Amino acid sequence: MSSSLILKISRIASRGLSLLFLLLVNQQLSADVAVLSNRTQASVSIELHPVGEVKRSLTISPGDSRPVFFNRSLSVRFGQGLIFQTLELSPGCAYFFRQGLGKNSLSLEKIGLGKSDLEPQARMAKDSNVAHKSGLVEIPVKIAVDDDEPTHRSIWEPRLRERVAAASQILEVNCGVQLEVVGVETWDSNNSTHDFHQSMHEFEREVSSKGVRLVIGFSSQYEVSSGRTHMGGSRGTLFPYILLKERARNVRESHRLELLVHELGHFLGATHSPEPTSVMRPVIDIRQPATFGGRIQFDPVNALLMSLVTDELRERHVPSFGDVSLPTKQRMIEIYEVLAEALPNDPGAAQYKRLVASATSPRLIQEVREVLRQLTQMAKLEKARADKNTAEGVHHAESNLTGDDLTARFVREAAAVVSEFKTHEQSEAMLLALGIFMDTEGALLSFPFTKGLVSQVESEQQRVDREALLGEPTMRGRTDLAKHFFVSAHLAVALGGSNARGVGLAKEVLDANGGTGFSFVDMAANRAGIIFAEKILAGKVEVEQLADGFTVSRYLPELDGLAEGIRGDKLRTQYAKNDGALLNAELQKIEQRILGLPIYQ
């Protein structure tokens, strides 16, 4: 963390941890992508300068939008004539080039898309040894045609393959997605069904999506019609089915392609746009000429939405939208809110906002809730045993679990519970549940990107009951370190390791300015919890291993020699000097100490 960022955090510390969280996390989404749009009348040629990588050139035609994916940071150099400028891009943002007042004046401006664009700009560095993956994200597709198609397969299959290929070329340049047709199928549609939504349900039942990411159905049971009618449809971002109306007279192939690209945009998170030249405009009138300049274009805001989803597919290989990271979902919600205001009479953006807000995996929520229930039941039994011993005058009974031993018992129980789930989400469920269980201060409820999950898993009364039963589990003899460790592990699952590290650091900087002071001991517990989660999620530590023999000393090293109680002035004048060199060095030593534990060898 740089000295300027430490000073910036210190200045706003009085405004609360939630703002610090937004400062560090909203600007560092799990997806590092920005979108550049050309709003001039001529092509714009620019240079992209990613840190640690070779510069590259990019030319953007008038009206076009282009995503740029990057790791760490990216600057863009642009200009006209002899006047050039360089600007560092913020991840998760959209920009547009416009002609300035002068003849050779070109400017680049950010599009305002919610509070993330208004917060102070700050980014947490990712692991410098991990390069951002580049290249296209390939989506395997199946084409399906119903029995009302009037032409022979030798006619319709090449026609539809060519249309999907043309749509793929548009997606490639607008969001980095490539469609690959890997299967073709037919299905019998019910001619007595005249409701499009019922036909979609029938299509989804009849045609399997096994082995593909997306099934695109073309039904000739319905005619394409003009105006605000169902020309096609899907059920939300990354839902594996799209159904399109194919039967129509005097409809150009360019319009059919536009309808397909419109629905593919919805599949990738795009919603309706107020821009009349965007393929995501609410109504595509087949009576009107094709799109601007004969090209199908996405507006920059929807290009950003799709690119955020693309980066989740590339970096995290998410199987469904419910698995998309919480920071990306939050950013998408902000963007949908802006689009909903721009199109108050169109329900599209508001509907997508609701879909995103409810898109946490139901199975994961159920598993976290079950782990939390069983942990609370165990805490209740332990408390009853301790109360009984106290009533009988038996103090320090060996049967009473306390301190580090109590923590170990809870972790072993959580691991044993999830090992019975036999699902790919079991590790996440254990870590998320332990974080909620150990959090007696409501920290996770105060964080914008974790409170949604926590509130779905546990009611207010359940939280009060749990806290009354918890006892005093510790790590290295301290209750606060147990909270730091497991809340940080929870954040590593919900936000990713880099963001979790930043949140822990922001909390300690806040403590240095009016709290108990900055503590490297707390930071060690934070980092140990994050590394614990990262190793589990990477499969380097198995849940069965934890169920059999978790102990505190195996996962949290000795904490001798680590400073605590550092006040804000000392943090700024001593640790923040030279771009935070001393602070970063101390944190690096802590991580090396953790990674040196025998369990990680």
pLDDT band, very low/low/confident/very high, at 339 (cuts 50, 70, 90): very high
pLDDT for position 52: 79
558 within 8 A of 515, measured Cβ to Cβ:
no
Q: How far apart are CA 20 and CA 27, in angstroms?
A: 11
Helix, strand or coil for residue 495? helix
Environment class of 302 (CB within 10 Å of its CB; exposed 0-12, middle 13-18, buried 19+): buried
Packing angle, helices 479-495 and 520-537, rounded to 10: 40
- Bigger pLDDT: 283 or 286? 283
- Mean pLDDT across the chain, nearest whole number? 85
Class of 137-359 in CATH: alpha beta
Q: Which of 95-104, 188-197, 260-269 ranks highest by mean pLDDT? A: 260-269
CA-wise closest residue to 591 among 538, 503, 543, 529: 529
pLDDT band, very low/low/confident/very high, at 237 (cuts 50, 70, 90): very high
Q: How far apart are CA 484 and CA 594, in angstroms?
A: 15
pLDDT tens figures, 98-139: 987 766 678 999 999 987 665 544 333 343 334 445 689 999
pLDDT tens figures, 130-166: 444 568 999 999 999 999 899 999 999 999 999 999 9
Q: How far apart are CA 68 and CA 46, in angstroms?
A: 12
Would you tell me how many other CB atoms lie within 10 Å of the CB of residue 227? 10
User: What Å distances lie between residue 134 and 32, 34, 310, 331, CA to CA?
Assistant: 11, 14, 11, 22
Both tokens assigned to 511: 């403590």
pLDDT band, very low/low/confident/very high, at 446 (cuts 50, 70, 90): confident
pLDDT band, very low/low/confident/very high, at 311 (cuts 50, 70, 90): very high
pLDDT tens figures, 507-547: 888 888 777 899 999 999 999 999 999 999 888 999 999 99
- Mean pLDDT calculated for residue range 176-199: 89
Q: Would you list the domain boundaries of the chain?
A: 33-111, 137-359, 362-596
SS3 labels along 349-362: HHHHHHHHHCCCCH
- Bigger pLDDT: 282 or 224? 282
Q: Find where tokens 């920290």 sit.
A: 443
